[in-house]
Amino acid sequence: MATNHVKRAFRYRFYPTDAQAAELSRTFGCVRKVYNLALAARTEAWTRQVRVNYNATSAMLTAWKKTEELAFLNDVSSVPLQQTLRHLQTAFTHFFAKRAKYPRFKSRKRSRKSAEYTTSGFRFHDGRLTLAKMADPLDIVWSRRLPEGAKPSTVTVSQDAAGRWFVSMLCEDPAIKPLPATDEAVGVDVGLDHLLTLSTGEKVANPRHERRDRTRLAKAQRELSRKVRGEGANRRKARRKVAKIHARIADRRRDHLHKLTTRLVRENQTIVIEDLTVRNMVRNRPLARAISDAAWAEFRSLLEYKAAWYGREVIAVDRFFPSSRLCSACGTLQEKMPLNVRTWTCGCGTTHDRDTNAACNLLAAGLAVSACGAGVRPQRSTPGGQPVTKQESLRRKP
């Protein structure tokens, strides 16, 4: 019986030649142009209550290439251009299913520079990757090996704001298999003082990656603000310097979260977290920077896809569950629990660490969800008023 392998993207840095960089830059520009043209055409048709699908936009692309003003589209590989039309079709599919907002036009300065190639647009042989319209293979830094005998199904080339070039190859990875089942379960409470607090009592320190480079970042941003706006070389250099600092911060943060989530998935069969709406929480301006630096949304995303890979379960408890105000020993609900209270004593005599108690309550609630299949959503009103959740506490903090 055939085994269903998990498809996984392997990302590497590469160093293009001047000719390759120029070719890829032209491709990025053409991809952006085709996407915007197709989006404009579909938007105009939408105002007339006419739906335009991928096949129609593909026919439009053929017609655009025959015009004098868009003849430059013939200079790059047609594969990335077709792929961007497929991406636009996916964006509209999500929009019609109410899973996403209406697609937006791509900006030359702010949108991600990338191009996707399918098997007809690249050649991969003996560890050498050559893209369409290029004579020489890319100079890739193989920081880790691809799976034995792996053949990429798609290749995505991108350039970040710091000027670094990356290639991402989507391959089947036979090494990803469900881990042996275990009885271990853990509740995880995220925070700012400590990044994670586990129901076992363990606390993971918050590295505060952005704070470590804040002085360098502020200096670089001041230098950028002094440059004359426009396309001058000095302003581009200053912008690139700021981007490199941001990239350094993001790389450290991502590496730390990968290590944490991998460890949690390996050690536990069930992981219970709180269903936080981070996009609403960052509206609290005094705490927005700290919340963004903690990257709770990225932590959850990494945790969920790794759990799916390895046969683990991630349970998200309703955000209105009063985990901090509920005594994990006797179940008594406290009327108030200000954010500055880090330890408290219940009427039953049990002294709690606020975060550890919350993690224990999340674990108990999550296991109840797993057992009965019902959501955890307590009554909104109590004798002492509405339950105060982590989100509400953060919003109210001055």
Report whether 312 contacts 263 (CB < 8 A).
no
Q: Does the annotation mark 274 as catalytic?
A: yes
Dihedral of alpha carbons 377, 380, 386, 391, sign: positive
| Contact assessment for residue 238 and residue 223, using Cβ atoms and an 8 Å cutoff | yes
Annotated catalytic residue, options 23, 116, 210, 355: 355
Which SS3 state, helix, strand or coil, does residue 204 take? Answer: strand
Q: Are 150 and 170 in contact (CB under 8 A)?
A: no
**CA of 214: how far to CAs of 205, 211, 217, 264, 377, in Å?**
19, 5, 5, 30, 39
Token digits of residue 276 = 């936080």
b/e for 183-201, b at 16 or more Cβ within 10 A?
eebbbbbbbeebbbbbbee
Active-site residue, selected from the candidate residues 116, 189, 210, 293: 189
- DSSP letter (8 states) at residue 50: -
Catalytic residue (choose from 116, 210, 274, 293): 274
H or E element: which one contains 218? helix 214-226
Mapped onto helix, strand or coil, the DSSP state of residue 316 is strand
Residue 155, beta-bridge partner list = 117, 169
> Containing H/E element for 272?
strand 270-274
Backbone torsion region of residue 278, taken as left when φ is above 0, otherwise alpha when ψ lies between -120 and 50, otherwise beta: alpha
Element (H, E) at 118: strand 113-118
Positions annotated as catalytic residues are: 189, 274, 355
